[in-house]
C-alpha cells in the first residue's frame, strides 16, 4: 500500500473511491450531530457513517449540505434497518433516506444485519441493486453478515442474474462492515472479502475504549508516543480496512484523525495479531440462516 494520508481512498467494485478514514455517528444525538459532523470535516474527515436506526441521517446530511466542501468529495453511508427485511421495505427505506436527507444520491447503502431469512435477504439485496442502477445509491453492501450469509449471497446473486437477464444484474458487494479490531479480527470474513475485492469497514475500531490498559497496547503507546485509539486506528488503516471511529468530543475527533505521522512496523503489527473473539457490540454474524 502506498503511503497513507488523510486523503487516502480505496477503489470499490463499483469503480468509485471510498475515503479510508470514516467518522461514525452511532448513538450521536440528533441535536448535536450536525455540529460534530462539521467538526469532523474541519479535522479532515470526508466520510460519514450513519443509518436509519441511528435517527441522525438528517443532521448528518445538513452538515454535508452546509459545508463548503464539494458534495462529490464527501462520502455518506446509511443502512436499511435490520428488522423486517424485505424487498418492499428496503426499497421504501432508500427513498425515505433520500427524502429525509435531501441528498441527490447516497454514496453507500448497506443492509444493516442479516436477519429475516433467505427470501428477505435476497429481496432486500435486489432493492439495493435496483437503487444502484437507478442512481439513487452509488455503492451497495452488507453489514454484520457472517461467512455463511456471504456464501448464501453468492448463490442468490447468481439467481438474480438469471431472473433479471444477464451477468452483473445480480449486483456486486462493494463494501462490508463489521466490528473489527485486534481482539476481533474476523479473519475468515476478511479473507472472503479480499478474494472478491470487497472493501472492509471496521466499526468499534477502538473497542469502545475498553482495551486501553492492555499491556500490548500500552507498550505500543509508549513506543510511538500515541494514544491507544491512535494505535488501533492506525492498525486498521494498515490492514487495509476503513475504520469508523466515533466520538462527540472535539479534541478526540481531531486526535482520531491524527494518525498519519507514524507507522506501525512489522513487529508492531505482529504483536497485534491477537487470536481472540471479544466483541464489544452485538454480533449478528453468528446468526443462523433462518434467523
Which DSSP string do the residues of 113-144 spell out, in sequence order?
--TT-HHHHHHHHHHHHHHHHTTSEEEEEEES
In Å, what is the CA distance from 257 to each residue of 15, 29, 32, 75, 253?
A: 26, 21, 20, 16, 7
The one-character DSSP state at 3 is P
Contact 43, 254 (CB under 8 A): yes
Task: State phi, psi for 145 to the nearest 5 degrees.
Answer: -80, 135
Tell me how crowded residue 207 is: count the other CB atoms within 10 A of its CB.
22
CA–CA gap between residue 277 and residue 183 (Å, rounded): 6
Alpha-carbon distance 107 to 86, whole Å?
21
The cell for 186 is 474476523
Q: How far apart are CA 59 and CA 100, in angstroms?
A: 10
Q: Among residues 23, 47, 112, 181, which one is catalytic?
A: 112
Clarify whether 112 is annotated catalytic.
yes
Is 54 assigned a catalytic role? yes
Which of the 8 DSSP states describes residue 167?
T
Its sign, for the CA torsion 115, 119, 120, 121, is positive
Question: Which residues contact residue 119 at a Cβ distance below 8 angstroms, ignoring those fewer than 6 apart?
Answer: none
Residues forming beta bridges with residue 79, ordered by sequence position: 110
C-alpha–C-alpha distance, residues 84 and 113, integer Å: 10
- 102: CB partners within 8 A, 6+ apart: 61, 65
Of the candidates 23, 45, 47, 54, the residue annotated as catalytic is: 54
Active-site positions read 54, 112
Amino acid at each position: 500500500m502506498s503511503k497513507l494520508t488523510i486523503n487516502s481512498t480505496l477503489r470499490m467494485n463499483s469503480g468509485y473511491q471510498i475515503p479510508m478514514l470514516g467518522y461514525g455517528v452511532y448513538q450521536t444525538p440528533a441535536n448535536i450531530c450536525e455540529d460534530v459532523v462539521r467538526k469532523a470535516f474541519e479535522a479532515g474527515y470526508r466520510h460519514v457513517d450513519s443509518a436509519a436506526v441511528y435517527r441522525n441521517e438528517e443532521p448528518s446530511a445538513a452538515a454535508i449540505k452546509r459545508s463548503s466542501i464539494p458534495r462529490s468529495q464527501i462520502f455518506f453511508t446509511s443502512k436499511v434497518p435490520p428488522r423486517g427485511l424485505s424487498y418492499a421495505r428496503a426499497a421504501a427505506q432508500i427513498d425515505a433516506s433520500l427524502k429525509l436527507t435531501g441528498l441527490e444520491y447516497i454514496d453507500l447503502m448497506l443492509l444493516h444485519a442479516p436477519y429475516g431469512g433467505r427470501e428477505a435477504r435476497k429481496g432486500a439485496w435486489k432493492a439495493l441493486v435496483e437503487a444502484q442502477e437507478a442512481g439513487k445509491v452509488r455503492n451497495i453492501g452488507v453489514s454484520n453478515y457472517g461467512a455463511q450469509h456471504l456464501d448464501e449471497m453468492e448463490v442468490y446473486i447468481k439467481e438474480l442474474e438469471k431472473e433479471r437477464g444477464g451477468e452483473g444484474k445480480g449486483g456486486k458487494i462493494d463494501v462490508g462492515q463489521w466490528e473489527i479490531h485486534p481482539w476481533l479480527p474476523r479473519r475468515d470474513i476478511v479473507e472472503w472479502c479480499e478474494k472478491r475485492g470487497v472493501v472492509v469497514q471496521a466499526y468499534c475500531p477502538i473497542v469502545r475504549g475498553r482495551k486501553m490498559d492492555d499491556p500490548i497496547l500500552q507498550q505500543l503507546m509508549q513506543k510511538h508516543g500515541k494514544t491507544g485509539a491512535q494505535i488501533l486506528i492506525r492498525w486498521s488503516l494498515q490492514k487495509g480496512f476503513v475504520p469508523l471511529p466515533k466520538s462527540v468530543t472535539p479534541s478526540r475527533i481531531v486526535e482520531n484523525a491524527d494518525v498519519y505521522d507514524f507507522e506501525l512496523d512489522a513487529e508492531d503489527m505482529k504483536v497485534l495479531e491477537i487470536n481472540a473473539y471479544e466483541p464489544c457490540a452485538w454480533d449478528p454474524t453468528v446468526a443462523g440462516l433462518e434467523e
